[in-house]
Chain A
Amino acid sequence: MTLLHVSGLSVRFRTEDNPVQALSDVSFALEEREILAIVGESGCGKSVTAMSILGLLPSTAAISGRIALEGRDLLTLPRKELRSIRGKELSMIFQEPMTSLNPVFTVGRQVGEVLRHHEGLSRRAARDRAIELLDLVGIPAPQRRVDEYPHQLSGGMRQRVMIAMAVSCDPKVLIADEPTTALDVTIQAGILDLMRDLRDKLGTAILLITHDLGVVADVAERVIVMYAGRKVEEATAEELFEHPQHPYTMGLLAAVPRLREQPNGERDRLAEIPGMVPSLSAPPSHCPFAPRCSRADELTLSELPELRDVRPGHAVACFHPGDERTYS
């Protein structure tokens, strides 16, 4: 069943000079117990997507479209009701574990605060529950840690605290915006395992935002690829890795470092996608990827490709989809 349904989401920021069209007509659905990944280069609108779902965008943002959580449109919900959903049914963890916790409050208080606010627990009960939650997210000696301050914890531990806080009210949807980007590689795997575990144990659906296809391959079941504020491809993870259709997706896959050696003994050269991301203040009326694409032709440079299914359950917005061999 669909939990979260985003349709036709567009976001435009007013700025000092030109307005920025951060998102254009983005649609997707998050199913129950699913881990859905959103990937794309920096600036393609991943965080803006997450922030619009939680209603955390600044007032300079003009949002249109529909974001439905079990049928309730979050964009038109009164603020008070939205607040009763945030942190309870819909929660979020952020990219920066070092600064996302308040430095002046103990970990226990910050985790307990959610429980006291949404579930009306007493101070004591919230603290006891916080200890259980810290234990659940794999923090050793939770009895002691609960009274510590964020600066006494490592980045990985802080991210676990953020996760404990996010799942404390047993939310339906957890949005994780680059949860491992700021962490050491050795710690990343642990955090990803934890999120998958929590999904299995608590049944929380996860919207995982990342620019790292390695992370996607590790945990995601379905993937959305974004480019310049648009969704350009969507498929199951397996399908996407096996049969990428959009040249941009292929570029991303080629840019993933691999330790495999070539037959001639040389390491794979990391392929870069040539060119620059288009400016979002003057979005082109043609395929936004065209200037960087080797397949670009007149059609690509004059019209905007619509999303269409090219294989079962595999949609792409490209005039010349398909893998390298079938194309050339």
Chain B
Amino acid sequence: MGRYLLRRAGASLVVLFLAAVVVFAGVRALPGDPALALAGEERDPESLAAIRAKYGLDEPILVQFWNWLTLALQGDFGESIRTGIDVTDILLSKLPITIELSVLSVLVAVVLGIPAGVLAAVKKDTWIDHTSSGIALFGLSIPNFWLGLMLILGLAIYFPIFPASGYVSPLEDPIGNLMRMVLPAFVLGTAFTAVVMRQMRSAMVESLTADYIRTARSKGLGEFTVVASHAMRNSLITVTTVVGLQLGALISGAVVTEQIFVIPGFGKLIVDAVFQRDFPVIQGAIIVTTAGYILVNFVVDIVYSLLNPRIRITGAAT
């Protein structure tokens, strides 16, 4: 197990480095010269050159990359070329907001998706199965922005139960924070719920036909124990992996959701930074997002191996 984790950690570093290369190159490929954008009214060559020199934009791209990478490794992502604020500070202030939103929407997905999937599998081919599978398909195909707008219309404006948008820190006003997070978490969690439900359903359908389920029944165990203990434990192993892979989709979903509900998280930060060609902010935000994604996958892997004795005991990879 230890060796396995070490190997995984090494692989993660490689991925992170590649991500850094791609992000750096990608940001440079964006149309629009940041110096031009920054210069505003004064577009004479001299002030443009001054701006380029100030932000190191006149150096060869490899040098720029090296400078950025060495500083980034020390946790220094430079300053925003818009506001001059330290990028690391910006990231640290936005990160908890997006983490809260993601965790809440994963919670929504797990709390709704797992029981629904189990129920659909147990009641396979009945109206319960058909209905929940139908809802899941609907949840998968419905665009986040549309669902978000409909929910705002319905539950914030027509029936003003929840605030339409905005964010308050849970430290200042926990209830207000939660009230503002309910709709976005639901919107962001919808597609995810559908994925979890469908995965859980198919994993459970398979588990329930396994020989060990027949054994469990032959022992005289009640149907609840058979399903909840013997079948679910095996299904969760499969679902954990798939769900882990889906977490990436959550990040792109967060970008849209944060726009709709005007939540000042990572998603909104990245979109604003892209429009403003704020290179350091874009790079920092995306690298941190990638690192978060890798970290989550790492955790999913560990959870997976904890659930699966075959891997836990022999330490075999994959």
Contacts and interface: CB of A to CB of B under 8 A. Distances in A.
Say if A and B assemble together: yes
Contact of A114 (B214, B219, B222, B233): B219
Centre residue among B210, B220, B309 by max chain A CB count within 10 A: B220
Interface string A40-54: 000000000000001
B230 interface: yes
Given A94-B211, A96-B211, A99-B212, A104 B219 contact: no
Contacts of B247: none
A121 to B, nearest CB: 14
Contact of A100 (B212, B225, B237, B308): B212
Contact of A103 (B217, B225, B310): B310
B215 interface: yes
Contacts, number: 73
Contacts of B74: none
Contacts of B215: 94, 100-102, 162, 165
Nearest to B209: A58
A: interface residue count bin: 20 to 34
Interface of B: 210-212, 214-222, 225, 230, 233-234, 237, 307-310, 313
Given A100-B212, A103-B310, A104-B237, A92 B218 contact: yes
A12 interface: no
A117 B211 contact: no
A34 to B, nearest CB: 21
A302 to B, nearest CB: 41
Interface stretch (A82-90, A136-144, A210-218, A223-231): A82-90
Q: What's the dominant secondary structure at chain B's contact region?
A: helix
Given A149-B313, A151-B309, A152-B313, A103 B218 contact: no
Nearest to A99: B211
**3 pairs of A and B residues whose beta carbons are closest in the complex:** A87-B220, A86-B220, A87-B219
Contacts of A292: none
Interface of A: 54, 56, 83-88, 91-92, 94, 96, 99-106, 113-114, 117-118, 149, 151-152, 162, 165
Contacts of A106: 309
A165 B219 contact: yes
Contact of A85 (B211, B220, B230): B220
Contacts of A165: 215, 219
A103 B219 CA distance: 16
A83 B218 contact: no
Given A103-B309, A104-B234, A149-B310, A86 B212 contact: no
B310 A117 contact: no
Contacts of A151: 309-310, 313
